[in-house]
Amino acid sequence: MTAVTRLKLESDVAPDPLALLRRPFPANQISKLPKPTPQQTKEVKDDFRKGIRCPDCGAWHHPQVIHLDYVGHAALTDRLLDADPHWSWEPVAFRDGLPAFDQTGGLWIRLTVAGVTRLGYGHAKGKEGQDPGAREKEVIGDALRNAAMRFGAALDLWHKGDLHAEESTSEEPATSMEDRAIAHLKACAIDREMFKGAWESNKDGWRKTMDGPAYARVVKVMKDLAAAFPKEDPKPAPVEDFGLADDEIPF
């Protein structure tokens, strides 16, 4: 029995598909993603015995690694099917008949649910020894999660707090700020001026609230996204540095 059927039996009224997307995911559909620091990764790489088989995620990593909650591709697909059995996605652009990945290996998509279409962006790093096509499938899954978030799917996991509480007494961890900053930049990368404004208005706050490695990762994502924009003018022009000394931002 699908979630839609269960709701119909409870209320005798067909639920709003978009409202169904916003329902919290049950605990059994939420996975754990380990986020080791560079130092933790180095310690385990130098001495395999310093790692543990994690009971939360099943991976071998440093015992003090922080985990992030996330919804996987299968759980998200199940939710999309419950909301709209005819949901679909398509790349924003094609090249030689295939989805057009950008210069950083990312992919812009359009996700359509119940007749409503919203954009999403996916990206994934290539891994040593990875099977052909594995990175591309990971990019598509990331893009679907990113686009589904625009419909409200798993927003509570992205926020790392209570979205609807009037006050919060707990501080947001630095890793959450990094993820939110990257998600915000990706969401604004559909327009050059919007992207510039997002960076200019947030960079100082991000620099102050994140540790050095986290902010450096945000800067790298910003540069990668900026490099994907087409040049406005073929003539040489001064390059904006977005307030980063000696850094060239390729707009």
Closest CA to 195 of 156, 251, 245, 151: 251
Q: Are 136 and 101 in contact (CB under 8 A)?
A: yes
In a shared domain, residues 28 and 131:
yes
Closest CA to 127 of 143, 139, 145: 139
In a shared domain, residues 178 and 151:
no
More confident residue, 77 or 4: 77
Count of domains observed in the chain? 2
Q: Are 151 and 133 in contact (CB under 8 A)?
A: no
- Rounded average pLDDT over 25-36: 84
In this prediction, residue 23 carries a pLDDT of 86
pLDDT tier at 233, thresholds 50, 70, 90: low
User: Which residue matches tokens 């169904």?
Assistant: 20
- Residue ending a domain, among 157, 192, 218, is 157
Read off φ and ψ for residue 19, nearest 5 degrees: -70, -35
pLDDT tier at 10, thresholds 50, 70, 90: very low
Is 164 inside any structural domain? no
In this prediction, residue 249 carries a pLDDT of 45
In a shared domain, residues 9 and 85:
yes
User: CB 185: neighbour CB atoms within 10 A?
Assistant: 21
pLDDT at 77 over 80: yes
Is 245 inside any structural domain? yes
Cα 43 to chain centroid distance, Å, stands at 27
pLDDT at 133 over 90: no
d(CA 79, CA 98): 27
pLDDT at 83 over 70: yes
In a shared domain, residues 148 and 175:
no
pLDDT at 227 over 80: yes
In a shared domain, residues 115 and 139:
yes
In this prediction, residue 14 carries a pLDDT of 57
In this prediction, residue 251 carries a pLDDT of 44
Task: Classify residue 243 by its DSSP letter.
Answer: T
In this prediction, residue 242 carries a pLDDT of 54
More confident residue, 112 or 189: 112
The mean pLDDT of the chain is 79
In a shared domain, residues 198 and 243:
yes
pLDDT at 192 over 60: yes
Residue-number span of the structural domain to which 202 is assigned: 171-251
Is the pTM of the predicted complex or chain greater than 0.85?
no
Read off φ and ψ for residue 77, nearest 5 degrees: -60, -40
Is 50 inside any structural domain? no
Give how far Cα 54 sits from Cα of 34, 62, 103, 123, 169, Å: 9, 9, 35, 26, 30
Using DSSP bridges, classify how beta strands 66-71 and 30-35 pair: parallel, antiparallel or unpaired: antiparallel
Is 25 inside any structural domain? yes
In a shared domain, residues 88 and 151:
yes
- Rounded average pLDDT over 20-28: 85
pLDDT tier at 176, thresholds 50, 70, 90: low
Closest CA to 21 of 141, 211, 151: 151
d(CA 247, CA 243): 9
In a shared domain, residues 203 and 105:
no
pLDDT at 173 over 50: no
pLDDT tens-place string over residues 84-93: 999 999 999 9
Is 24 inside any structural domain? yes
pLDDT at 162 over 50: no
Give the pair of three-digit tokens for residue 163.
Answer: 């979205």
- Residue ending a domain, among 116, 133, 157, is 157
In this prediction, residue 159 carries a pLDDT of 60
Is 163 inside any structural domain? no
pLDDT tier at 171, thresholds 50, 70, 90: very low
Residue type (1 letter), 86 = H
- Residue ending a domain, among 114, 129, 157, is 157
pLDDT at 166 over 60: no
In a shared domain, residues 11 and 128:
yes
In a shared domain, residues 91 and 143:
yes
In a shared domain, residues 152 and 176:
no
Is 59 inside any structural domain? no
In a shared domain, residues 180 and 243:
yes
Give how far Cα 66 sits from Cα of 61, 69, 131, Å: 10, 10, 28
| CATH (domain of 150) | 3.30.390.80
In this prediction, residue 11 carries a pLDDT of 45
Is 49 inside any structural domain? no
pLDDT at 121 over 90: yes
Task: Classify residue 48 by its DSSP letter.
Answer: G
pLDDT at 245 over 60: no
